[in-house]
Every structure is written in structure tokens, then in C-alpha cells.
Amino acid sequence: MNTENLHYFEKAPIAKAVAHFAVPMMLGMSMSVVYSILNAFFLGTLNNTAMLTALALTLPLFAAIMALGNLIGIGSSAFISRLLGDRQYDDVKHVSSFAFYSSLALGLILMAAGLPLIDSIVRGLGATPDSFSFTKDYVTIMIIGSPFIVLFFTLENIVRSEGAAITSMIGMILSVVVNIILDTLVIFVFHWGIIGVASATIIANFAASAFYVFHIKSKSQFLTVSIRWFKTNKVILSNVFKIGVPVFIMSIFLGAMSLIFNRYLVEYGEQAVAGFGISSRLLQFPEVILMGLCEGVVPLIAFSYTANKLRMKHTISFTIKAILALAVMFGVIVYLISDHLIGLFTNDPQLIEMGSYILHVTFLSLFITGMTSLFTGIFQATAQGTAAFVMSIIQGITLIPVLFIANRINGFHGVVWSLVISDVVAFLVGAVMLYVLRNKLQPDLEQLAQ
């Protein structure tokens, strides 16, 4: 961590510090959504609804692979930022080396376990007869490349944990640029279809992972990927996993929710599934902007939690105002041009109508999901493992019964609105827990006197 990063952690004005940590994260994450949208766009040019359906059905699989990266990456990064606040620099090296090798091992285990189960995975994702072969092709490539996906999410988090937010952004943008270039080649030049799109994603993750490793080895003062610093003990495992496990469970729940949601939508035709796939990708853009803001400030909150709780409090207050402003801005834009946005991916009138409707409904809870992300980030940064665990499961626990009841009562409309209801419940639970934990997060008297 260089002097400039330390300045942003400790002394820069709150707005400037939040911008330093969050803006690169917001830009980097938004670029990752851009290539997710472009994957759908490029496949859409082939006018094959079954391919778009396959792409939508595989979202839970990608969420599960990403969850393994976040299991190690987010747990390690929050711990690293707290260690930096306590000036325990040797421990930072141990944790970063542990993160690198354990995430790589998890990816290899997933690949070895997943390849013999490809057909079962595809059936479990809910592939229809028309989309089965496309879904199987995509799943196979994703399983083979899973070590690079897991490693990418781990490294992005630990690089950001020491304040190198711009480097983190560059790595994410690099993966996007590589993916876009390869998507163009595999669709329009080599005509590889969905296999090419999946392969492009894997290669892009590998390129970004290599970039992060280069940065850590050549420019980072405290992080390392050297095997000689690898260490595992009770302190490392407990601090990494008490935050990482809730994040992992939350990611798995999100994937499971998407899987269950798709199963219900299948009842209303492939247009409904494809419409949800397109609208969810469009919704991802403002969601990851808000998520990037909330995740971007986690290192700042974690550092301040051990160094200056008053600064942490001011950081949280400023972030809430930013969430509100961004949610209002994106909401207005979407309600004005939703049909045109869906029309970028398809010329099917029914698909446009369904996708636009889903987009309108889900955007209603944009501010709430942003605040829920902030609550989760605060619990992660301040090592509130139980609260983080509750946040990781509450939305999934809520969605399943709500989805069942809403589908029975109001069919397709009920299925779509169930997402908003579960978001509201998660927000209320997070707000209550933050209120209960308020005394732990209050500044010390001597900090208030400064």
C-alpha cells in the first residue's frame, strides 16, 4: 500500500475518499455487465431464441462459480483491510497467499467434480428440449474454465483491499475488452455460436487474473502470491470464512433463486424466460453500479473500523445519499426507454412486451437493493459474521414461499412481483440488524472529541 492509498484511507475528505475507492469499482463492474449484455446481444444477432434461453438458464451456474471466488476473495479482502488498519503487514502477506492458492484449489476441485455431471447439471438448470444442447455446450466450457473464474474474483477483491482501486478497475476492464474482441471473432468470423461466447468469457477471466498476479508480484508492497508466505491457521480461517461463508451462501442463494425463478417462468413459455434473461442483464447495469459503490467502500469502512470509527460513520452516511441519487437517476431513464432497450436484443413483439414489463417491476426496488448491498458491506467490513450470514439467506428464504404463493394467486405477474417483495423484506431485516448493532459501530468518545 503506497502513501497515496494511505492518504485516502486516513485523511482525504470523505467524498474524495469514497470516489477514489468506489468509482473505479463502479466502472469496472459496469464494464463486466456490458460484456454480459453483449454476450446476449451477439447471440441475439443469430435470431435464435433457444440460444438466448440457454444463456439465461446458465446464470445460476455462473453465480455458483463466482460464489467460490467470493468465498475466499471477499472474506480475505475485508480481513486484509482490517489488518492494514492495525499495521499488521506480515499477516497481510499470509492472508493474500492463502487466498490465491486456496481459490485456485477450489476451482480445480469444481472442475474435477463438475465434468462427470454435465448432463445432470444441464437438466437441473431446467433446459428445455430446444435449448438442451446449447445449454450443455455453455455449461461444459464454464466448468472447464472455472479455476480462472474463481481466481479472477478472488484476486480482484484482494487487490482492492489494499486501496489499489484503479488497478482493480483496470483488471475488470481488461477482461471486458478481451471478451468483446473475442465475442466479435467467434460470432461473426468463426461462427462458433454459444461455444465461442463461453470460451471468450473464460479467456477474458484468465487474462485479467494474469494481470492481477503481475501487479501483486511487481508493484504491491504487502500482497503476495508466493507459496513461501502461504499459511493456514485458526485466525486466518475464522476471519476469512466468517465473512466469506455468508457471501458464498448469498451467491448460492442468488443462483438458486434464479434457477427457481426460471422454473416458474418456463410455465409461461420460452419468451418469458428469454425476456427475464434480457431484462435481468439490463437491470444488472444499475445494480452493479450501486453494488460497486457499496463494495468499493468496504475497504475504507473496514480500515476505519479499526482506525477511526467516526470516519467510518461519515463514510456510510455519504454512501446512502449517493445510493439514493443514483437509484432515482437510473429509474427515470429506464421508465422512459424500456421498450427500446429490450428491442436492442430482439424483434419479437411478445418478448419485448414481457421483457419491458419485468424491467419496470424490478426497477421499483433499485434503491432498496442498493441499501441492502450497503448493509451487507458494513457487516462484512466490521466482521459482524452473524449479521452477514442472516443477510446472505434472508432474501432466498423469503423468495421461495412468496414465489409459490404469488404464482398461485396471480400467475406470471405474481412471479415477477415476488422479486420486489423479497427485496423489501431483506431491506427491513438489514435495517433492524444495523440498528441493533449500532453501539458496536459507534465512534469512541476521544474520536468524537477530535
DSSP letters, 119-156, are: HHHHHHTT--TTTHHHHHHHHHHHHHTHHHHHHHHHHH
Classify residue 449: in a domain, yes or no. Answer: no
Number of domains forming the structure of the chain: 1
Grid cell listed for 357: 414489463
Report pLDDT for 146.
Answer: 94
Q: How far apart are alpha carbons 60 and 244 in whole angstroms?
A: 19
Residue 415 placed within a domain: yes
Mean pLDDT (10-residue bins), the chain, 450 residues: 68 87 78 69 75 79 84 87 84 93 94 93 85 90 94 91 85 88 87 87 94 93 90 88 78 70 75 75 80 84 83 90 91 80 75 80 85 88 82 78 85 83 90 85 50
- Domain carrying residue 410: 3-442
Question: What's the whole-model pTM score?
Answer: 0.72
Nearest to 271 by CA among 381, 166, 356: 356
Q: Answer yes or no: is 173 within a domain.
A: yes
Give the per-residue pLDDT at 108.
95
Residue for grid cell 446449447:
134
Give the residue from 67, 160, 157 showing the smallest Cα distance to 107: 67
pLDDT at 449: 42
Structural domain contains residue 357? yes
Residue 207 pLDDT = 96
Distance of CA 46 to CAs 50, 134, 187, 280, Å?
10, 13, 9, 20
Q: Residue 414: helix, strand or coil by DSSP?
A: helix
Q: How far apart are the first and last CA of the chain?
A: 26
Question: What's the DSSP call for residue 46?
Answer: T
d(CA 165, CA 114) in angstroms, rounded, equals 33
Q: What is the pLDDT of residue 2?
A: 56
pLDDT of residue 429: 92
Burial of residue 239, with CB atoms counted within 10 A of its CB: 0-12 exposed, 13-18 middle, 19 or more buried: buried
Residue the block writes with cell 492458492: 101
Assigned domain for 448 exists: no
Q: What is the C-alpha separation between 76 and 240, in angstroms, rounded?
A: 5
- For residue 357, how far is the Cα from the chain centroid? 24
The pair phi, psi for residue 297, each rounded to 5°, is: -85, -5
Phi, psi of 254 (to 5 degrees): -60, -40
Measured in residues, the chain has a length of 450
- The pLDDT assigned to 382 comes to 85
What is the DSSP code (8-state) at residue 164? -
Question: Does any domain span residue 447?
Answer: no
Cα(293)–Cα(297) distance, rounded to whole angstroms? 6
Q: What is the pLDDT of residue 110?
A: 94
Which H or E run includes 24? Answer: helix 14-44
**If you search the block for the grid coordinates 481466481, which residue do you land on?**
151
